[in-house]
Structure 1
Amino acid sequence: MISFASFPVPSQNETQGMTRHHPDVEDDIDMDEGFEEGFHRLTSPGEPLTSSQAFMRGHGTYIDNDEVISSVAGTVERVNKLISVRAVRSRYNPEVGDLVVGRITEVQPRRWKVDANSRQDAVLMLSSVNLPGGVQRRKLESDELQMRTFFEEGDLLVAEVQAFFADGAMSLHTRSLRYGKLRNGQLVTVPPALIRRLKSHFLSLPCGVDLILGLNGYIWASKHVKQSEQEGEEAFDAEAVYSNKNDDIDDATRLAISRVSNIIRILAAHFIPLTDTLLLDAYEWAVEQEGDVKDLLQADIGDAMIATIAARD
């Protein structure tokens, strides 16, 4: 037997104490708190953000005593009614199509484990790399036995995020001729938040230095390679692509690579997002100083460079 129970209708006095919000109604929203659409400001852990019940809490926040409070140090962001805080320093959060620079940490059957500055190691499958004999060639058992001739522990590579596994690990691929093992340069690590999503993350500076801006915060600075040497199926040379030996680099190029790397470290220390124009201005200023490359890392010189660049902007 089914019985129905009726609930008492709230009285008028009780309904007056209840707060209801319609998506199109801005009830008691304090817009003077600095949460206009698209507004960004810095906050610290434990700082109250808003007490308005019209907002929803997002990542990096929690609610205490009807207040939305920041749980991390970062930038406050608002999207419609959602308030969130993007942490200043956090692990890289990958997306499909991202360009990343990583380091091989382990060689496993038919796959490599790659440190990509994320929450867990990425995976590069043997079927997702270019091998001698053509891009579309099937991977054989002989290829699996020679995996360390292609990538071994400690090798650096640039790849693209292809997909994600069930456990959240990202799957990489190096099928493009612009991807693969990295040589003739050095690695610079910066917070991932400083790398913006650009149309191209391969930059060629006039000083003869090529930059690969990995969205995971790993930047590769190397000597310039002509565009014709990077593209074209006919130019695919397995020995050169998977070689562990660097090319001959003249002293001027070595100085340029070191100078660009130190400039990136200075900009990262001041938490300034990296752009090609900013790097060019900083490089021109560093050349005008006519000092040693290592002197750029001194605090006073770094502060002077940042002040000069800021004045130009």
Structure 2
Amino acid sequence: MAADMRLPVIRKPVSLTSAFDRKDRKDLVVPGDVITSDTGFMRGHGTYMDEEKLTASVAGEVERVDKLICVKPLKTRFNGEVGDVVVGRITEVQQKRWKVETNSRLDSVLLLSSVNLPGGELRRRSAEDELTMREYLQEGDLISLGQGVLVQLSPSLVKRQKTHFHNLPCGASIILGNNGFVWLYPTPGHQEEEAGGFYTSLEPVSLSDREVISRLRNCLLALAAHKVLLYDTSVLYCYEFSQPHQVKDILKPEVMEEIVMLTQQKLMEQEG
């Protein structure tokens, strides 16, 4: 009977005190915790008044904006904001619109008039366009995405950045949706920008690309399991530290812990 054994490795001690001593540290509260007794603050989401004391109604981080105090839940459904990048899946085709699952409380709506038709045609949508909506997007489709892997994670783990589209040096690309839906796909070699509209590649994905995407996928799951913020740098560092291990071994608890610890250490060294 074969057994899989790993020898212990020498690990550098990691000090996490600096991460918790920063001035921008946010307070964590649970339901029932008194946030403040000062009556000069305004009550925001995730709070309620109890005997003139502002109290938390959910578990999360206390956020203060001037006189407004709210509690941002640590785990919740996606609440969209203007400018968010989201990855969505079509759930229903309706008249002149699609319903889209975006990991929020309600399905989102994508209007036929809001999409770029193949070829980038800018014109009024006709009745013929409405009849052929399923040729563009149908139930189960990910919006304008071709071959790849979807990883569904908590929206709170995706770090807000100026760009959420990244072509990683490992040969794969990633879309970090603010709604927690992360899309991994082979970096396209060449795409005509002037074509516009829908671009769905159904070309077979090579074995090497599939291995890279699978490794990235397991790295994302490892980072998420240890509540590490997901952005291009953290994902890339985790990918680099996972190289000594086989793709299937990354999700083993001891390997996962080792890779994530090394990733956190390098991120802290980078931040100074």
Is the shorter-chain TM-score for this pair beyond 0.5, marking a shared fold? yes
1:147-226 residue pairs with structure 2 within 5 A? 147-157=133-143, 181-226=144-189
Q: Could you tell me which residue of structure 1 aligns to residue 125 of structure 2?
A: 139
CA contact (8 A) 2:37 2:54 kept: yes
Percent identity at matched positions? Answer: 46
Q: Could you tell me which residue of structure 2 aligns to residue 279 of structure 1?
A: 235
Higher Rg of the two aligned structures? 1
What is the RMSD computed on CA atoms of the aligned residues? 2.1
C-alpha distance in 1 between matches for 2:183 and 2:119? 28
TM-score, length-scaled by structure 2: 0.84
Q: Could you tell me which residue of structure 2 aligns to residue 309 of structure 1?
A: 263
CA contact (8 A) 1:151 1:242 kept: no
TM-score, length-scaled by structure 1: 0.73
Misfit runs of 4+, over 4 Å: 36-39
Q: Could you tell me which residue of structure 1 aligns to residue 88 of structure 2?
A: 102
Q: Could you tell me which residue of structure 1 aligns to residue 47 of structure 2?
A: 61
C-alpha distance in 2 between matches for 1:194 and 1:49? 24
More strand by share: 1
CA contact (8 A) 2:29 2:59 kept: yes
How far has the Cα of 1:297 moved from its partner?
1.3
C-alpha distance in 2 between matches for 1:237 and 1:273? 32
How far has the Cα of 1:133 moved from its partner?
5.2
Unaligned runs of at least 5 residues, structure 2: 1-21
Residue 31 of structure 2 aligns to a residue whose secondary structure is coil
TM-superposition CA deviations, 1:242-276 (whole Å, max 9, x none): 56xx3111111101101111111111122211121
CA contact (8 A) 1:39 1:77 kept: no
Residue 153 of structure 1 aligns to a residue whose secondary structure is coil
Establish whether residue 295 from structure 1 lines up as the match of residue 256 from structure 2: no
Unaligned runs of at least 5 residues, structure 1: 1-35, 158-180
Establish whether residue 248 from structure 1 lines up as the match of residue 248 from structure 2: no
Q: Which amino acid is the alignment partner of residue 217 of structure 1?
A: G
> Which segment drifts farther, 50-59 or 217-226?
50-59
Q: Could you tell me which residue of structure 2 aligns to residue 263 of structure 1?
A: 219
